[in-house]
């Protein structure tokens, strides 16, 4: 990317996006064996493809990519679906307030139990249970944003 | 799917299934097969949990990236580079490798405490029903629930018995095991602590060992490292090995 009109900041952004694509594909079991055996190569391909998209975008329309686009592998197609999915999920998550994020992150992402979260946040375990339920119901009511389903 | 209120009990039942903590997953799947609303509710909840995990993952990656940038001001926002020096390339590669390693670690969780628990914790199989120490039909009835994995039912029944027989160590031990199996770790710890203090109880060593595992479950590094088993405990070697493993 640095040799192809990109900055360090661009490289970091593209890498973060690519690694998130890898993460969601692993979570959902959508990766083929060649990818799981060499995640670094997959990441590189996704990042490369993303950068080519950026170069083709309006901001870079005068920049000619220095890569042969014919050689973009098929596996990168997976990334396009994943990116759309990530965008929808992020839109839903962004509707949660800070308190909800703190509780839900600890429970579902860090996999802490209710007692531990209660201890960390200095409240009763039953309160954490209620907050978790309330916050997840908020997400449930936003489900049309995730799945395109009518509310 | 009809947008109706979802009762907290049903929500938690679905949650337990999705987190792999359901005591009766096969029965739950049977119900899903014949209940479209339940099936759709499970899918919605799966998506919501994924949204939360994605939020946590993105936040973590962003924090790591920020820390990396602030630790090395060169690897931060920078003007367009036309010819990257070898040093720059190496620095970026190092940052990328760090991020990749951390991200892969997140994909490969659980952490050391969870790994220890997965390796060492096995739910107590329970007593043979006709021979239990209390010789009590109500106790046997709850033991059947316990053995079937219906821990909340067993807990409710044993708690009733405990009111009239608070010193019964058999009752306290299996109630503690049921609490632990139902992931009510704080309640389990309280019961195990009482049993561990009673050196005459036949459940003393087992309770002590399970108390230690409960601290591991809580990720309570201080309690784990300061834990001392009674001399002659058959679990001394395991406790020591785990303490060594979790030292860092």
| Ramachandran class of A33: left when φ > 0, alpha when ψ lies in -120 to 50, beta otherwise | alpha
Cβ atoms within 10 A of the Cβ of B118, count? 9
Q: In the prediction, which pLDDT does A42 show?
A: 75
Percentage of chain B exceeding pLDDT 70: 77
pLDDT-derived band at A16 (thresholds 50, 70, 90) equals confident
| Facing A147 at nearest CB: one of B47, B75, B186 | B47
Q: Report how far residue B168's alpha carbon sits from residue B175's, in angstroms, rounded to the nearest whole number.
A: 11
Q: In the prediction, which pLDDT does B102 show?
A: 64
pLDDT in tens, B170-181: 999 999 999 998
| B110 cis-preceded (ω within 30 degrees of 0) | yes
Using DSSP's 3-state secondary structure scheme, residue B19 falls into coil
pLDDT-derived band at B79 (thresholds 50, 70, 90) equals very low
Q: Report how far residue B30's alpha carbon sits from residue A83's, in angstroms, rounded to the nearest whole number.
A: 34
| Facing B55 at nearest CB: one of A27, A93, A151 | A93
CB pairs under 8 A between A and B: 142
Q: Closest approach of chain A CAs to the CA of B130, in angstroms?
A: 35
Residue A145 has pLDDT above 50, yes or no: no
Find the residue in A nearest to B180 (Cα): A113
**Among all chains, which residue has been given the structure tokens 């209390």?**
B134
- Alpha carbon distances (Å) from B53 to A27, A77, B57, B62, B107: 10, 23, 6, 14, 11
What integer is the mean pLDDT of B49-70?
83
What integer is the mean pLDDT of A54-65?
60
**Burial class of residue B1 in the structure, from the number of CB atoms within 10 Å of its CB (0-12 exposed, 13-18 middle, 19+ buried):** middle
Chain A residues within an 8 Å CB radius of B58: 16, 20, 90
Instruction: Tell me whether A136 touches chain B (CB under 8 Å).
Output: yes
Residue A36 has pLDDT above 50, yes or no: yes
Q: Report how far residue A96's alpha carbon sits from residue A94's, in angstroms, rounded to the nearest whole number.
A: 5
Q: Report how far residue B84's alpha carbon sits from residue B50's, in angstroms, rounded to the nearest whole number.
A: 38
Token pair for A140: 């449930």
Residue A136 near residue B11 (C-beta atoms within 8 A): yes
Chain B residues within an 8 Å CB radius of A151: 3
pLDDT-derived band at B144 (thresholds 50, 70, 90) equals confident
- What angle separates helix B151-164 from helix B169-181, to the nearest 10 degrees? 150
- What angle separates helix B36-71 from helix B8-18, to the nearest 10 degrees? 60
Higher pLDDT pick, A84 / B41: B41
Q: Report how far residue B178's alpha carbon sits from residue B147's, in angstroms, rounded to the nearest whole number.
A: 10
Mean pLDDT: which of B88-92, B97-101, B182-186, B203-207 is highest? B203-207
Question: Among A52-61, A126-135, A142-151, B148-157, where is mean pLDDT lowest?
Answer: A142-151
Residue A4 near residue A55 (C-beta atoms within 8 A): yes
Find the residue in B nearest to A112 (Cα): B218
Q: In the prediction, which pLDDT does A69 show?
A: 47
Please provide residue A86's backbone torsions phi and psi, each rounded to the nearest 5 degrees.
-60, -40
Residue A73 has pLDDT above 80, yes or no: no
Residue A72 has pLDDT above 50, yes or no: no
Q: Report how far residue A70's alpha carbon sits from residue A8's, in angstroms, rounded to the nearest whole number.
A: 26
Residue B50 has pLDDT above 90, yes or no: yes
Residue A52 has pLDDT above 80, yes or no: no
Interface of A with B in 52-71 (CB under 8 A): none
Taking CB atoms and an 8 Å limit, are A8 and B80 in contact across chains?
no
Q: In the prediction, which pLDDT does A151 show?
A: 35
pLDDT-derived band at B189 (thresholds 50, 70, 90) equals very high
pLDDT-derived band at B26 (thresholds 50, 70, 90) equals very high
Residue A128 near residue B29 (C-beta atoms within 8 A): no
Instruction: Tell me whether B185 touches chain A (CB under 8 Å).
Output: yes
Q: Report how far residue B172's alpha carbon sits from residue B213's, in angstroms, rounded to the nearest whole number.
A: 17
DSSP state letter for B133:
T
pLDDT-derived band at B32 (thresholds 50, 70, 90) equals very high
Taking CB atoms and an 8 Å limit, are B55 and A143 in contact across chains?
no
Token pair for A21: 């694509």
Higher pLDDT pick, B144 / B68: B144
Find the residue in B nearest to A106 (Cα): B56
Q: Report how far residue B5's alpha carbon sits from residue B2's, in angstroms, rounded to the nearest whole number.
A: 9
Token pair for B248: 């860092």
Q: Closest approach of chain A CAs to the CA of B145, in angstroms?
A: 24
Instruction: Tell me whether B25 touches chain A (CB under 8 Å).
Output: no
Percentage of chain B exceeding pLDDT 90: 40
Q: In the prediction, which pLDDT does B34 show?
A: 93
- Composition of chain A by helix, strand, coil, percent to 5: 75, 0, 25
Instruction: Tell me whether A22 touches chain B (CB under 8 Å).
Output: yes
pTM to 2 decimals? Answer: 0.50
pLDDT in tens, A4-14: 666 767 777 78
- Alpha carbon distances (Å) from B215 to A81, B25, B116, B189: 42, 27, 11, 8
**Among all chains, which residue has been given the structure tokens 């900055």?**
A7
ipTM: 0.76
């Amino acid at each position: 990317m640095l040799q192809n009109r990109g900055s360090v900041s661009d490289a970091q952004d593209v890498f973060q996006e690519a690694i998130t694509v890898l993460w969601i594909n692993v979570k959902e079991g959508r990766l083929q064996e060649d990818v799981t055996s060499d995640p670094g190569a997959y990441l590189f391909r996704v990042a490369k493809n993303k950068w080519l998209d950026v170069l083709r975008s309006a901001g870079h329309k005068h920049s000619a990519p220095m890569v042969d686009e014919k050689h973009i592998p098929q596996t990168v197609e997976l990334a396009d679906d994943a990116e759309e999915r990530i965008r929808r999920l992020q839109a839903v998550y962004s509707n949660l307030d800070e308190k909800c994020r703190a509780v839900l992150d600890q429970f579902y992402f860090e996999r802490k139990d209710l007692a531990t979260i209660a201890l960390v946040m200095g409240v009763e375990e039953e309160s954490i249970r209620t907050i978790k339920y309330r916050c997840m119901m908020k997400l449930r009511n936003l489900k049309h944003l995730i799945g395109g389903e009518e509310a | 799917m009809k947008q109706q209120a979802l009762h907290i009990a049903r929500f938690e039942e679905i949650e337990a299934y999705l987190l792999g903590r359901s005591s009766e997953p096969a029965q739950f799947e049977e119900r899903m097969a014949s209940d479209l609303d339940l099936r759709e509710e499970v899918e919605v909840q799966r998506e919501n949990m994924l949204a939360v995990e994605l939020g946590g993952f993105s936040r973590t990656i962003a924090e790591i990236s920020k820390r990396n940038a602030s630790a090395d001001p060169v690897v931060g926002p920078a003007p367009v580079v036309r010819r990257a020096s070898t040093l720059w390339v190496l620095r970026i590669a190092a940052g990328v490798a760090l991020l990749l390693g951390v991200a892969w670690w997140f994909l490969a969780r659980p952490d050391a405490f969870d790994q220890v628990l997965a390796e060492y914790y096995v739910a107590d199989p329970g007593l043979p029903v006709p021979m239990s120490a209390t010789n009590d039909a109500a106790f046997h009835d709850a033991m059947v629930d316990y053995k079937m994995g219906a821990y909340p039912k067993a807990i409710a029944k044993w708690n009733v018995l405990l009111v009239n027989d608070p010193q019964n160590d058999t009752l306290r031990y299996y109630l503690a095991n049921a609490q632990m199996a139902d992931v009510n770790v704080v309640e389990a710890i309280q019961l195990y602590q009482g049993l561990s203090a009673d050196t005459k109880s036949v459940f003393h060593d087992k309770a002590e060992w399970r108390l230690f595992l409960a601290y591991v479950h809580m990720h309570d590094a201080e309690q784990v490292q300061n834990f001392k088993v009674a001399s002659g405990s058959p679990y001394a070697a395991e406790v020591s090995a785990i303490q060594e493993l979790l030292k860092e």
